[in-house]
Structure 1
Amino acid sequence: MKFNEMQYTRPDIEQVKQKFADLTKRMENATSGEEQWQIHQEYYELNDHVMTQAVIAEIRHDVDMTDEFYEKENDFWNDTNPILANISVEYKKQLLHSKFRPYLEEKIGKVAFKNMELAEQSVAEKILPLMQEENKLQDEYNKLLATAKIDWKGEILNLSLMNPYLNSSDPEVRKEAWKKYSAFYEENSEALDDIYDKLVKNRTKQGEEMGHKNYLPLGYARMQRNNYGPADLKSFREQVKNDFVPFAEKLHDIRRKRLGLSRLHFEDEGVYFTNGNPAPIGTPEQILEAGRKMYNELSPETAEFMNFMCDNDLFDVLGRKTKKTGGYMTYLPDYKSPFIFANFNGSSSDADVITHECGHAFQGFVVRNELVREVQDITMETAETHSMAMEFFTDPWMKLFFGDRAKDYSDMHFEDSCVFIPYGTMVDEFQHIAYENPGLTPKDRNGVWHDLERQYKPHLDYSGNPYYEGGAFWQNKHHIYDCPLYYIDYCIAGTDALQYKVWMDKDYKAAWNSYLELCKLSASDFFDSMITRVGLNNPFEDGCLRNVVKQLEQTMGI
């Protein structure tokens, strides 16, 4: 079914609560594991329908954040989603503590039960008002960004539409674009600081109410970190600093020389060639058609997926002035349909949507008929492995998108994938410090960011921009506001993707078969087990990044 044909109806929350209560009672009174399993399948149907309506409302709100009807629906879901999370946890407690648990574990798996334990630690009725307030604060932040109006040579642009000018081949254009772009953040810095300060304090209060010293244990539970914890991530961050930052700095210097610069200024961070970054050729419609051709040639599985997506209009990718910034893949359970939201802006990131977000969507499509919904409930480091690895698997088809500049794009994408890992890891350490020290002032937080930049990106030069020089660049990253503790998952996944890059350069078919197996495994096993099962090294094991760097440097001859 096409997306515009999908009907939206706001659920009657009281009826939904009653249905959950009935299921919970029946589960409690069940006399066998088989009876509980049958009831649980009714839960799937109910939850799928409610979540489908929530996702439709989210998408239609995000494509136009000034739409009054869906703005009201968004407010409804901001209040309702925490309630639904809580009643879902209350229901799942019957499975978690069932005397028939061994039977149920055979049906839905041990990973599912570990995730239920984490869910039980993630929400409680006493923190629902705080969760609702958190949603409203995030909305306030997103609306502030979505309604940005930047005067660019007489045309009013939003933040997403400024991207081509921020990375222009003309240094003077870049300089002026960054001046206007950062001016928006500087002019709104007080509001941005205030929102983040409230978010940190809100999340800290939630953590305390759940019995923790701060937000971090609650945040880890909400991220479903079901087989690694803070010590593992701290060790990974040390690997990045010791083994990967020196490699990334070499890549920055190679680019500096390629650009003919004596120093790499922050305005040059996103530029890779003197004649400008490669941009996709053709209209958005032609880019989507190129994606269809690519996936039809890559494999039978990707062909079926992309034809389904295109035939059912499951993309909204045109950049519009009142559209939410950023991009994502989401899923509509009732229709077994992935959906991709993005903001095309004429830059290479348009093609990245067809690789990265389609990597997410492809995996969701592969397991769309899985009866056990918990197997579809993948953790984020696994989800991002699907997407970031797909960026490399699609590399042989980049000529469809970039024509004669396909190699330039491939080189740029490889370098960008590598230098991202220190930045993404820095975002994670910044968030850990912020939540370990919720009393930090805005100035203190800027100081933390400034110090971390010296560790993770020592080449950075913000001269001429006092706002960023003072440590405020972190305000550009919406994940810090919207998705606490998420960003490190990209770095773990990036390590996996680079392993696939090394592998596919030697044996593409074997690497692809491994990737397809990983997609099909979904969340049937824990992350570390799945990664080793498909032939990759666990990123948390000391030496993993060192080995990746060694192989990449050998290939590059540096």
Structure 2
Amino acid sequence: MKFPDFPYSRPDLEQQEIAFRAVLAELTAADGINEAIAAVEQIDLIRSGVATAYNIGYVRHSIDTRDEFYKAEKEWFDQHLPATEAWRMDYYRALLDSPHREALRAHFGDQLFHTAELSLKTFQPELIEDLQEENKGYSQYMQLKGGAEIELDGETYNLSSITPLEQDPDREKRKAASSAKWGWYAENREEIEGIYDSLVGLRTNMARKLGYDNYVALGYAKMNRTDYGPEQVAVFRDEVKRHIVPIAQELYRLQTERIGVDRLHYYDTAFQFPDGNPTPKGEMADTIDAARKLYDGLSKETGDFFRLLEERQLMDLEAKDGKATGGYCTYINDYGAPFIFSNFNRTSHDVDVLTHEFGHAFQVYSSRHQKPMEYNWPTYDAAEIHSMSMEFFAYPGVPDFFGDDADKYYFNHLAGAMRFLPYGCAVDEFQHLVYENPDWSPAERNAAWKRLEAEYLPHLDYSDMPHLDAGTFWQGQSHIFGMPFYYIDYCLAQICAFQFWLKDRQDHASAWADYVTLCKAGGSRSFLQLVELAKLENPFEAGVMEKIAGVIRERLGELQ
């Protein structure tokens, strides 16, 4: 069945809960391990049905945020889905209290029980109303961005379609485009800051109801981080400051010389080469043809999988008016179907996002048979290893994607990965500061971001854009609003993805075999256990980042 034909109906949560609790009683009363396993699998089926309906509706709402039917369905789920958290917590309690606990652990593995123990620290029924409001706030932010209309030179753009203009070789044109985009954010600043202020208050309130001092520990628990905490992440950020920020600043210095400006302004940073950034050849169909050729050549399983995505229409890639911004991959459980969402705008980012989200999709498809459903996806930190590593495994396809711009893309992609790490760490440290100081005003939050820019991104010059000069750049980062503490996962995974790239250069067959093993494992292990399974070095260990940085600096010198 193709995605447009997937039937959608709003789930009857009252009936689903009756069925769920009947099976939960069977789990509690199970005489033997076989009955207990069967109950766990039946609970999975019920939860999977609810998740399937939600994800079909979410995708269709993302594709057209103006569609009144799916907008209403998204609002309904925002209101009612938090109540199902109570089901999940009761299920986890039953697992942990089961007389067959050790036998269930032997059958399903430790990770389910670690997840259960940590999740029980994140919820109580009194939080349902707060969770509903949290969903509502994030949806409000995304709908605001999805409906952006930016006027420039008699044309109307959205936040995705204006991006190519920000990379125009004519400096005045890219300045006009960037000014128009950030002018939209300036016009909506009060509403955006109000949404975030409300979200910080809600999350802080939930944390205090659960007995936490602030939202930081709760945020980590909700991310299911079982083998590291804020202390290790702080050390990681310091390593980035020490080993990566100097390389990134050197890259910005070289960019300044390369494009012939005296200083990089905010409208220059996306423009990398004096004759233009690398651009995919042809039209969107040509990019898809190149991707098909790439994945046919990479392995039989990737070739077959890409064709499955095409044939079942499990991708929506082109930027359109009313479409939500950004890109993602989700999973429609009952159909075993990943879905890739993107906003192609004829920049190199099209290839970055397609290969990145293909990595997510390939992983969840590879682990779709994992049970329980907690194991379909790993935690976000591990999940980003699959996506970011796939960007490097896609290097053989770069000449077909970019033609004569291939070498520019290789340089820009590797340099971009290095430039990203300081930004990603700034986002993470910003969120720690915000939730450690929940009573800050919007102005104080902006001042904190401004200080972090000076540490991680000192090249930035917003002197002719008062809005950004006030420390508001973070307001365009959706993760900050919808997924607190997510962003460091990209940084951790980037260090792991660099390792896959280095392994692939030495021995492709071995590197690919380790990658497939990692994908098939899904979420059956914790982050650091999956890192070990993939034969990668722990990104928190001293010396790992320094060693990787040295090799990448050398390779960038060759490409430069």
**TM-score, length-scaled by structure 2:** 0.97
**1:280 matched to which residue of 2?**
280
**2:313 matched to which residue of 1?**
313
**1:239 matched to which residue of 2?**
239
**2:406 matched to which residue of 1?**
406
Q: State whether residues 119 and 222 of structure 1, in contact with CA within 8 Å, keep that contact through their aligned partners in structure 2.
A: yes
Q: Please list every run of 5 or more consecutive structure 1 residues that lacks an aligned counterpart in the other structure.
A: none
User: Is 1:348 aligned to 2:348, yes or no?
Assistant: yes
**2:386 matched to which residue of 1?**
386
Shift of 1:505: 2.3
Counterpart Cα distance in 2 of 1:557 and 1:199: 44
Tell which deviates more after alignment, 198-207 or 110-119: 110-119
Q: Output the amino acid matched with 1:454.
A: A
1:196-254 per-position Cα deviation (integer Å, ceiling 9, x unaligned): 10000010001111111111111111111121111111111111111211121122222
Q: State whether residues 278 and 409 of structure 2, in contact with CA within 8 Å, keep that contact through their aligned partners in structure 1.
A: yes
CA RMSD of aligned residues (A): 1.3
Partner SS, residue 266 of structure 1: coil
Partner SS, residue 261 of structure 1: coil
Counterpart Cα distance in 2 of 1:13 and 1:514: 41
Shift of 1:177: 0.7
User: Is 1:548 aligned to 2:526, yes or no?
Assistant: no
**2:111 matched to which residue of 1?**
111
Aligned counterparts, 1:86-235, within 5 A: 86-235=86-235
**2:520 matched to which residue of 1?**
520
**2:73 matched to which residue of 1?**
73
Counterpart Cα distance in 2 of 1:449 and 1:128: 31
1:527-556 per-position Cα deviation (integer Å, ceiling 9, x unaligned): 212213322111111221111112222334
**2:364 matched to which residue of 1?**
364
**1:505 matched to which residue of 2?**
505
Q: Output the amino acid matched with 2:169.
A: S
1:383-425 per-position Cα deviation (integer Å, ceiling 9, x unaligned): 1110001001101111211111111111111111110011001
Tell which deviates more after alignment, 500-509 or 219-228: 500-509
- How many residue pairs match? The answer is 558
Q: State whether residues 63 and 323 of structure 1, in contact with CA within 8 Å, keep that contact through their aligned partners in structure 2.
A: yes
Counterpart Cα distance in 1 of 2:480 and 2:410: 29
- What percent identity do the matched residue pairs reach? 39
Counterpart Cα distance in 2 of 1:374 and 1:440: 36
**2:57 matched to which residue of 1?**
57
Shift of 1:557: 4.5
Counterpart Cα distance in 2 of 1:308 and 1:353: 19
Aligned counterparts, 1:444-463, within 5 A: 444-463=444-463
Q: State whether residues 20 and 88 of structure 1, in contact with CA within 8 Å, keep that contact through their aligned partners in structure 2.
A: no
Q: Output the amino acid matched with 1:482.
A: G
Counterpart Cα distance in 2 of 1:160 and 1:259: 24
Moved >6 Å (runs of 4+): none
Q: Output the amino acid matched with 1:110.
A: D
Shift of 1:74: 0.7
Q: State whether residues 425 and 488 of structure 2, in contact with CA within 8 Å, keep that contact through their aligned partners in structure 1.
A: yes
Q: State whether residues 146 and 325 of structure 1, in contact with CA within 8 Å, keep that contact through their aligned partners in structure 2.
A: yes
1:6-46 per-position Cα deviation (integer Å, ceiling 9, x unaligned): 00011111101111111222211112222111111111111
1:83-105 per-position Cα deviation (integer Å, ceiling 9, x unaligned): 11221221221012212111001
Q: State whether residues 108 and 371 of structure 2, in contact with CA within 8 Å, keep that contact through their aligned partners in structure 1.
A: no
Q: State whether residues 40 and 372 of structure 2, in contact with CA within 8 Å, keep that contact through their aligned partners in structure 1.
A: no
Q: Please list every run of 5 or more consecutive structure 2 residues that lacks an aligned counterpart in the other structure.
A: none
Partner SS, residue 474 of structure 2: helix
Q: State whether residues 388 and 497 of structure 1, in contact with CA within 8 Å, keep that contact through their aligned partners in structure 2.
A: yes
Tell which deviates more after alignment, 115-124 or 472-481: 115-124
Tell which deviates more after alignment, 89-98 or 47-56: 89-98
Q: Output the amino acid matched with 2:274.
A: T
Counterpart Cα distance in 2 of 1:111 and 1:169: 51
Counterpart Cα distance in 2 of 1:234 and 1:299: 39
Q: State whether residues 294 and 396 of structure 2, in contact with CA within 8 Å, keep that contact through their aligned partners in structure 1.
A: no
Q: State whether residues 216 and 436 of structure 2, in contact with CA within 8 Å, keep that contact through their aligned partners in structure 1.
A: yes
Shift of 1:521: 2.1
Q: Output the amino acid matched with 1:519.
A: C
Q: Output the amino acid matched with 1:368.
A: R
Aligned counterparts, 1:486-505, within 5 A: 486-505=486-505
Q: Output the amino acid matched with 2:465.
A: N
Q: State whether residues 447 and 471 of structure 1, in contact with CA within 8 Å, keep that contact through their aligned partners in structure 2.
A: yes
Partner SS, residue 536 of structure 1: coil
